[in-house]
């Protein structure tokens, strides 16, 4: 594929990621944010219960009631800002960055995956990025609501999650390369099945070898609230990558599809 086409695909991928991020923000604000509010409310209630005073002497000193507790901390960023501007900024930056990466993966895959057109290739690329970058790591280390996770294990959990992303991407790329090399002997379908099975086996072994995050959430935290938050987080990613695949597919088709009256020889090489 010509360098100019790759650059144009990169720009379109970042734009598609931006638009998909806007769609994901709307979903997150309506569906995910209420579950975060529930999780924070539970955590605050539990903290208040643990911090309840054992005795009261404030009745003898009227001014003491206005003195804040020693463990209260002023909130640096309000919850309203976090759930609007902060959430939107994070999703838009995430969408643009991964949209650019996905567009480069599309540029590599287009023309090398059989007779799939730009829209189908974009859909498969988006699905592949979603599975390797988010879904597989999520299955091993699912999302945890803010202010709920064990603070003593934040560093460990963050390291393990990004390690899982790296391993998933490396194994996924390796299986794609192996599948392409097997295709001449096994055929495209059988090679794809073999590569997919190999990816599943290797990731299952890594799941068994890598440590769990059993202490990521406090035991007293309600399971229903945790499940609601994790399903909302997964749904947000599904919406983001579905939107990206559809939007970028349209952009890529308009860029790469031969225009009426243009001969196949004049079309961009792939």
Residue 110, in any domain of the structure: yes
> Which domain range does residue 212 map to?
150-216
| 13 close to 102: Cβ distance less than 8 angstroms | yes
**In a domain? residue 60:** no
Write out the chain's pLDDT in tens, 270 residues.
Answer: 555 577 888 889 899 999 999 999 898 888 877 777 776 676 666 566 655 555 444 444 444 444 444 444 455 556 566 657 777 788 889 889 988 888 888 888 776 666 777 888 888 889 988 999 999 999 988 877 766 666 666 777 788 889 999 999 999 989 888 888 887 888 877 888 898 999 999 999 999 999 887 656 666 667 777 788 888 889 989 999 999 999 998 998 887 776 555 444 444 444
Judgement on whether residues 7 and 98 belong to the same structural domain of the protein: yes
Is 61 part of a structural domain of the chain? Answer: no
Secondary structure of residue 133 in the 3-state scheme: helix
| 35 and 166 belong to one structural domain | no
Domain identity same for 83 and 140: yes
Cα-Cα-Cα-Cα torsion 119, 122, 123, 127, nearest 10 degrees, comes to 180
The pLDDT score that the predictor gives to residue 3 is: 57
Q: Are 203 and 165 in contact (CB under 8 A)?
A: no
The reply to whether 129 falls in a domain is yes
Tell me: do 156 and 30 sit in the same domain. Answer: no
For residue 55, tell me if it sits in a domain: no
Domain count, the chain: 2
């Amino acid at each position: 594929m010509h360098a100019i086409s790759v650059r144009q695909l990169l720009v379109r991928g970042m734009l598609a990621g931006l638009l998909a991020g806007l769609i994901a923000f709307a979903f997150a604000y309506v569906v995910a944010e209420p579950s975060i509010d529930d999780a924070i409310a539970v955590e605050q209630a539990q903290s208040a219960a643990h911090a309840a005073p054992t005795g009261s002497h404030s009745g003898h000193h009227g001014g003491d009631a206005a003195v804040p507790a020693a463990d209260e901390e002023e909130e640096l960023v309000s919850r309203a800002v976090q759930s609007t501007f902060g959430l939107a900024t994070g999703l838009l930056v995430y969408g643009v960055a991964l949209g650019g990466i996905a567009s480069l993966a599309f540029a590599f895959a287009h023309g090398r995956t059989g007779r799939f057109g730009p829209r189908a290739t974009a859909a498969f690329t988006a699905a592949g990025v979603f599975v390797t970058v988010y879904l597989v790591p999520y299955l091993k280390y699912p999302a945890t609501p803010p202010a709920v996770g064990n603070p003593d294990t934040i560093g460990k959990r963050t390291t393990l999650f990004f390690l899982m992303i790296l391993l998933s991407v490396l194994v996924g790329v390796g299986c794609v390369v192996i599948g392409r090399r097997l295709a001449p002997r096994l055929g495209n379908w059988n090679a794809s099945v073999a590569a997919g099975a190999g990816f599943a086996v290797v990731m299952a072994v890594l799941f068994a070898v890598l440590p769990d995050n059993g202490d990521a959430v406090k035991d007293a935290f309600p399971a229903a609230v945790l499940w609601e938050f994790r399903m909302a987080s997964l749904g947000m990613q599904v919406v983001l990558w579905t939107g990206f695949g559809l939007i970028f597919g349209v952009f890529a088709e308009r860029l790469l599809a031969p225009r009426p009256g243009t001969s196949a020889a004049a079309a961009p090489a792939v």
